[in-house]
């Protein structure tokens, strides 16, 4: 400007015109640049908001929970937090799992058959296809794909899918995890519940020890809240797997939970079984014409027990009820925390049991006599950290009512379990779905909700396609049907086998495993599997056996030696 001041007026005017032109063009450029910048910023903000709006997913698995235990299924155990989820969502009366813990977990996390996933025989580790005893590279897990899609992934509780470092949840997609590697643990200490040794725990893949005095369900909830809290400010959705070990044996819980049920079960397991049948009908979970099947042959009539035996048996069920009560308390803690941080409304909750009620009583089994070196089952000690109580087949029959048998079996009592879906994306409220579905349907549901893509290859390995179907169209109210009437579902574990097509089912649990031992049932009017129709419905029987042959060949079923685990 100093140089400009020395010029004559004519030249000054000329330069003023030039500068004004430059400034005008510069202003236009600035405006354009600002517009582009704002547009890009808005586009990025919109994209971020779309990502942020994807729901969190909380998958809650109870261990060995009975079908009619919880309040919203008609049970007498107090479960107000689970019931609240149900009142704002959907209860399922025909949800199916595998008959034992590990194959269920393999199917759940992979969306595939337990043999494809590598868990054809719980406790069996081989190099044979389907019986590797760990998750194989034939599948990809839910946490792996959700993490790739931008989700945080957390887990606390029971793993039961391999004990080697490469099999750890830290290598299977979980960003943070605190897990019990084996199938059962003491709920208060590091003492093993499967032998006279120490239970194996890891956190984020590194070995760790249980801090004595913690209670399993409380501590697993603490861990999940801790993990969620670490990244709550980054607006990234999360997948949290609450793999609780409650109410799995040994039955241990603080007095304040079980004492409220004192005396409630003094009339025995047969009476409880009858009450459960009626309460399930009243809740609308089972048909009004359902009847109880015959009791398992192992069960002694209640009236044949001594007064001392009755007293101890009633205490078993009180302890069990207390564990379920505590489980509900902890689910309430998790819900409260999510409300406090503003994530409750944008969270999908799925609550299931991993199989039917459990009948095993290891401390009294000959192969597990070493457990008696640590555990004491005196009546006064029941429920404490050094007591080892199982409620056995007698209470398991009540827990599995109105179905036949319990855990281990491919009868409905072993595989037809509780499931509730509630929260984000669920438009149906206080709804009961009576149609068939299985845990194979959960993986495609989570991928559908999260926007994750299921690949044909993962980490350069070809993987098997998903076997289930997304539930999103149903839970969002867009359709009333989940599976077609001719949908086929089958499974096998240690010779306990079943195949279902529509309402028709073949079941086989006799040893040795022979095809002629399959029985045929029509579940539309016989959910207790009492009337074998294979001799009167021969065409239907042969049709389902042909489906079994296809399934058996597809997943390469073999019949390995039975395991004691």
Burial class (CB in 10 A: 0-12, 13-18, 19+), 92: buried
pLDDT of residue 52: 59
Q: Indicate the DSSP class of residue 138.
A: T
Length of the chain equals 565
Residue 67 has pLDDT above 90, yes or no: yes
pLDDT of residue 425: 97
pLDDT of residue 321: 98
Give the mean pLDDT of 76-80.
Answer: 98
Kindly compute the dihedral angle of the four CA atoms of residues 45, 51, 52, 57, in this order, to the nearest 10 degrees: 180
Angle between helices 307-340 and 392-399 (to 10 degrees): 50
pTM for this model (two decimals): 0.90
pLDDT of residue 292: 96
Say if residues 234 and 51 touch (Cβ distance below 8 Å). Answer: no
Say if residues 146 and 153 touch (Cβ distance below 8 Å). Answer: yes
Q: What is the pLDDT of residues 3-43, one digit of tens each?
A: 334 344 444 444 444 445 544 554 454 444 444 444 444 44
Say if residues 421 and 350 touch (Cβ distance below 8 Å). Answer: yes
pLDDT of residue 364: 81
Distance CA 488, CA 555 (A): 14
Residue 51 has pLDDT above 80, yes or no: no
pLDDT-derived band of residue 512, with 50, 70 and 90 as boundaries?
confident
Residue in 557, 543, 550, 556 with CA at minimum distance from that of residue 513: 557
pLDDT of residue 86: 98
Residue 168 has pLDDT above 90, yes or no: yes
Distance CA 89, CA 426 (A): 6
328: three-class secondary structure by DSSP: helix
Distance CA 299, CA 405 (A): 11
Residue 260 has pLDDT above 90, yes or no: yes
Q: Indicate the DSSP class of residue 56.
A: E
pLDDT of residue 367: 76
What rounded mean pLDDT belongs to the chain?
Answer: 91
Q: What is the pLDDT of residues 182-229, one digit of tens each?
A: 999 999 999 999 988 999 999 999 999 999 889 999 999 999 999 999
CA 318 to chain centre: 25
Distance CA 244, CA 425 (A): 25
CA 132 to chain centre: 22
Q: What is the pLDDT of residues 269-313, one digit of tens each?
A: 999 999 999 999 999 999 999 999 999 888 999 999 999 999 999
CA angle 275/277/278 to nearest 5° reads 65
Residue 48 has pLDDT above 90, yes or no: no
Residue in 67, 177, 64, 163 with CA at minimum distance from that of residue 123: 163
Q: What is the pLDDT of residues 527-536, one digit of tens each?
A: 999 999 999 9
**Residues assigned a catalytic role:** 101, 160
Does the domain formed by 56-475+486-554 have CATH 3.40.720.10? Answer: yes
Residue 46 has pLDDT above 80, yes or no: no
Q: What is the pLDDT of residues 375-426, one digit of tens each?
A: 988 999 999 999 999 999 999 999 999 999 999 999 999 999 999 999 999 9
Token code pair at residue 429: 């409220």
pLDDT-derived band of residue 365, with 50, 70 and 90 as boundaries?
confident
Say if residues 422 and 294 touch (Cβ distance below 8 Å). Answer: no
Say if residues 530 and 293 touch (Cβ distance below 8 Å). Answer: yes
307: three-class secondary structure by DSSP: helix
Angle between helices 80-87 and 307-340 (to 10 degrees): 60
pLDDT of residue 235: 87
Q: What is the pLDDT of residues 227-246, one digit of tens each?
A: 999 999 998 999 999 999 99
pLDDT-derived band of residue 44, with 50, 70 and 90 as boundaries?
very low
pLDDT over 70 percentage in the chain: 90
Strand segments (E) across 382-439: 416-423, 431-433, 437-438
Distance CA 370, CA 367 (A): 8
């Amino acid at each position: 400007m100093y140089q400009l001041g020395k010029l004559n007026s004519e030249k000054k005017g000329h330069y003023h015109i030039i500068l004004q032109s430059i400034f005008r063009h510069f202003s236009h450029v600035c405006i354009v640049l600002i517009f582009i910048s704002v547009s890009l910023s808005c586009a990025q903000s919109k994209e971020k908001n779309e990502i942020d709006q994807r729901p969190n997913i909380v998958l809650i698995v109870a261990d060995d929970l009975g079908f009619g235990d919880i309040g919203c299924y008609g049970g007498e155990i107090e479960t107000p937090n689970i019931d609240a989820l149900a009142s704002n969502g959907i209860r399922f009366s025909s949800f199916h799992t595998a008959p034992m813990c590990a194959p269920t977990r393999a199917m759940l996390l992979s969306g595939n058959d337990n043999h494809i996933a590598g868990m054809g025989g719980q406790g069996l580790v081989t190099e044979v296809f389907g019986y590797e005893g760990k998750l194989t590279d034939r599948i990809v897990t839910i946490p792996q794909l959700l993490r790739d899609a931008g989700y945080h992934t957390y887990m606390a509780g029971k793993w039961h899918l391999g004990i080697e470092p490469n099999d750890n949840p830290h290598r299977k997609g979980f960003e943070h995890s605190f897990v019990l590697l084996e199938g059962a643990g003491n709920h208060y200490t590091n003492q093993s519940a499967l032998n006279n040794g120490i239970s194996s725990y890891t956190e984020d893949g590194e070995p760790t020890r249980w801090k004595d005095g913690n209670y399993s369900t409380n501590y697993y909830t603490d861990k999940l809240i801790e993990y969620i809290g670490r990244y709550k400010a980054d607006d990234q959705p999360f997948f949290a797997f609450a793999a609780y070990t409650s109410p799995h044996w040994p039955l241990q819980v603080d007095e304040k939970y079980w004492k409220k049920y004192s005396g409630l079960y003094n009339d025995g397991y047969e009476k409880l079984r009858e009450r459960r049948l009626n309460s399930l009908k009243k809740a609308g979970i089972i048909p009004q014409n359902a009847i109880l099947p015959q009791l398992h042959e192992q069960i002694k009539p209640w009236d044949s027990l001594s007064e001392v035996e009755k007293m101890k048996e009633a205490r078993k069920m009180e302890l069990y009820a207390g564990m379920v009560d505590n489980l509900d308390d902890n689910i309430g803690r998790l819900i409260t925390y999510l409300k406090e941080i503003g994530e409750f409304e944008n969270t999908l909750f799925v609550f299931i049991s991993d199989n039917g009620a459990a009948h095993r009583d290891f401390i009294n089994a000959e192969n597990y006599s070493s457990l008696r070196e640590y555990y004491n089952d005196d009546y006064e000690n029941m429920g404490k950290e050094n007591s080892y109580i199982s409620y056995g087949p007698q209470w398991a029959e009540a827990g599995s009512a109105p179905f036949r048998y319990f855990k281990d079996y491919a009868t409905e009592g072993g595989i037809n379990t509780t499931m509730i879906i509630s929260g984000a994306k669920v438009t149906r409220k206080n709804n009961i779905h009576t149609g068939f579905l299985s845990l194979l349907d959960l993986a495609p549901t989570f991928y559908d909700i999260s926007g994750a893509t299921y690949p044909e290859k993962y980490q350069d390995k070809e993987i098997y396609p998903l076997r289930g179907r997304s539930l999103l169209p149903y839970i969002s109210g867009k359709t009333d049907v989940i599976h077609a009437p001719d949908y086929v579902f089958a499974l096998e574990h240690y010779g306990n086998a079943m195949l279902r097509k529509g309402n028709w089912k073949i079941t086989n649990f006799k040893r040795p495993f022979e095809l002629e031992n399959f029985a045929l049932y029509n579940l539309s009017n016989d959910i207790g599997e009492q009337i074998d129709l294979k001799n009167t419905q021969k065409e239907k029987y042969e049709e389902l056996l042909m489906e079994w042959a296809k399934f058996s060949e597809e997943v390469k079923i073999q019949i390995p030696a039975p395991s004691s685990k």
